[in-house]
Amino acid sequence: MKKPYTVRELLAISTQYLKDKGCAAARLDAELLLGHVLQLSRIELYLNLDRPLTTQEVDAYRECIARRGRRMPVAYITGVKEFYSLDFAVTPAVLIPRPETELLVEKVVKLAKARLASGQQQVHILDVGTGSGAVAVAAARQDPEFLVTAVDISSEALEVARSNAVRHEVDHQMRFVVSDLFSDVSGTFDIICSNPPYLTKAEMAQLQPEVSFEPAAALDGGQDGLVFYHRIFQESQPHLAPSAYVAVEIGADQARAVAAIAEGCGFSVEECIQDYGGHDRVVVAKWA
């Protein structure tokens, strides 16, 4: 009988395979996927490099590596992505949460905590285009008095968001509404946040292979990438509490354009936050 593969051997073979397929972080991907199949953390893998694998385990791993070789994102293969130190369920119905979007959560939480500190009992937050619910759920986790409404045009996405709220035990603080931006939203909010689709037509035409697995509806911001900012700053107005904030994630070169849109709609732009790569990433606007 043939000697069974060990963790060490499989990692070496699959890393080389993924490298040949053009995966930028081939070793990491190989480890994450093997950890997923064996239900082990990466550290545990390293403590078990000589562990032999069963045929079933090898077959399951081979399937994962084949999918990654076709450049499917790791998160769609494992079904989870870490964001804001929480594990989020993801499916191809939702955008995979990006680390830079944590800056949006941080800002929303800061603004919301300031409301509580100034004596307000509860803070009403609206997340427009919630996708996996990463922003909404991560924010809700930070204080039981944050009441978060999460909306998305895709009911499939909203089901993923709801499952993430249940997973992190904040569903009682949240509402989920299928809505084309504000079309089916009622009530007013202290903070409205969004990571809308913001890629330009030119960017949509040359997506990384991985990104082309993600829902176009979560990426495509129209010709100039700005379609949703016009709509958000216009259509949010009936839903703003006094002195409300609107905080949006933006593409690296959109700060000036988005600030102009917000100001044209009667907001004052308070801040543009840069990400760790030094790119403009979040615009914060205040309603009079």
> Quick one: 77 or 218, whose CB is closer to ligand GLN?
218
C-beta closer to ligand GLN: residue 77 or 199: 199
* Calpha distance 27→23 (Å, rounded): 9
Residue from 149, 195, 236, 254 binding ligand GLN (CB under 6 A): 195
Q: Which residue stretch of 166-174, 193-201, 235-243, 276-284 sits at the interface with ligand GLN (rule: CB under 6 A)? A: 193-201
Nearer to ligand GLN, 211 or 241 (CB): 211
Q: How far is Cα 188 from Cα 31, in angstroms, rounded to an integer?
A: 46
Decide if residue 285 touches ligand GLN (CB under 6 A): no
What length is written for the chain? Answer: 288
Q: Could you tell me if 144 and 117 are in contact, meaning their C-beta atoms sit under 8 angstroms apart? A: no
First-to-last C-alpha distance (Å) of the chain:
76
**Of all helices (H) and strands (E), which one includes residue 2?**
none
Q: Is residue 226 within 8 Å of 254, Cβ to Cβ?
A: yes
97 binds ligand GLN (CB under 6 A): no
Q: How far apart are CA 234 and CA 240, in angstroms?
A: 11
Our finding on whether 231 is near ligand GLN (CB under 6 A) is no
Which stretch, 51-59, 179-187, 196-204, 257-265, contacts ligand GLN (CB under 6 A)?
196-204
Least separation, in Å, of the C-beta of 143 and ligand GLN? 26
Among 5, 198, 233, 287, binds ligand GLN (CB under 6 A): 198
Q: Give the x-and-dash track for 152-191 against ligand GLN (CB under 6 A).
A: ----------------------------------------
Query: Which pair of tokens denotes residue 88?
Result: 């989020």
3-state per-residue secondary structure call for 28-87: HHHHHHHHHHHCCCHHHHHHCCCCECCHHHHHHHHHHHHHHHCCCCHHHHHCEEEECCEE
Task: State which residue, 57 or 152, has the beta carbon closest to ligand GLN.
Answer: 152
| Residue with the CB atom nearest ligand GLN in the bound state | 198
* Residue 229 sits in the site that holds ligand GLN (CB under 6 A): no
Minimum gap (Å) between residue 223 Cβ and ligand GLN: 14
Asked if 131 interacts with ligand GLN (CB under 6 A), we say no
> Where does the chain have alpha helices with state H?
7-20, 26-38, 42-47, 55-69, 74-78, 102-117, 134-140, 155-167, 201-204, 227-235, 255-264
Which of 98, 167, 168, 230: binder of ligand GLN (CB under 6 A)?
98
Instruction: Point out which residues bind ligand GLN (CB under 6 A).
Output: 98, 195-199, 211, 219
